[in-house]
Amino acid sequence: MKRSAIGRGVLDTLARYNHNVEVIMLGEFEYLLICATARLGDDAYGAAIRLSVEKATGCRCSVGALYTTLDRLEQKGLLHTWMGEATPERGGRPKRRVRVTAKGTREATNFYNTVVRASQGVSWAPNAGLEGS
């Protein structure tokens, strides 16, 4: 037990030393997926999340990027996915439904707060002129 804790500590230290930001916070695409999932609520599944991300970013979201990132987030415990019901408009095929976990909500909140803090005082941030006043 003690040995594995030491091992994890060493790995974390090495990861931070190598500026592996993924250990500390979400990636931006991961954050986009969590946002889309949270916004869609009970209607969150593959195609809907994809459309939501494309609408928010104006960029194309490939099936490969979507499903591999969903898997990664599920392995991290930030999302939970399951196979839903089949519908006629999908040719009788089921949806892969998605839900944000409590840990996912915490991580997304941390990411958002970090980005807001890091953006204070920069010219493109809406509150740039307010700093120091």
Partner 1 sequence: MSGPGWWLADQASRLLGQDEREAVRGDFSELGTTSATALREILGLVVRRQVGTWANRGPWLALVGLVLPLGFLLNVISRHWAASSAVYAWLYVNNWTWGYLESPGARLDVLNISVAFVRECITLTCWAWTAGFALGSLSRRASWFNGGLFGVVLLGGTIAGTAAPVGGTAIVFAHVFYRVLFLFFLRVVLVLLPAVAGMSTALRLARPRLSRAIGWFVAVTILTWWAAPRIESAVIWSMWSLSNTDPLAGGISAWRGSLAVRFLPAAMLWPAGYLITTASWPRRRTTAIAADD
Interface with partner 1 (CB under 8 A): 46-47, 50-51, 62-65, 67-68, 83, 86-87, 89-91, 93-96
Q: First vs last Cα of the chain: how many Å apart?
A: 52
Q: How far is the CB of 112 from partner 1 (least distance, A)?
A: 27
Q: Work out the angle between the directed axes of helices 63-75 and 28-40 (0-180°, nearest 10).
A: 90
Nearer to partner 1, 27 or 46 (CB): 46
Q: How far is the CB of 66 from partner 1 (least distance, A)?
A: 9
Cα 97 from Cα 23, distance rounded (Å): 26
Nearer to partner 1, 35 or 95 (CB): 95
Q: What Rg, from alpha-carbon coordinates, does the chain have?
A: 18
Q: How far is the CB of 126 from partner 1 (least distance, A)?
A: 34
Nearer to partner 1, 91 or 132 (CB): 91
With beta carbons less than 8 A apart as the criterion, state whether 22 and 69 touch: no
Cα 54 from Cα 1, distance rounded (Å): 45
Q: How far is the CB of 109 from partner 1 (least distance, A)?
A: 28
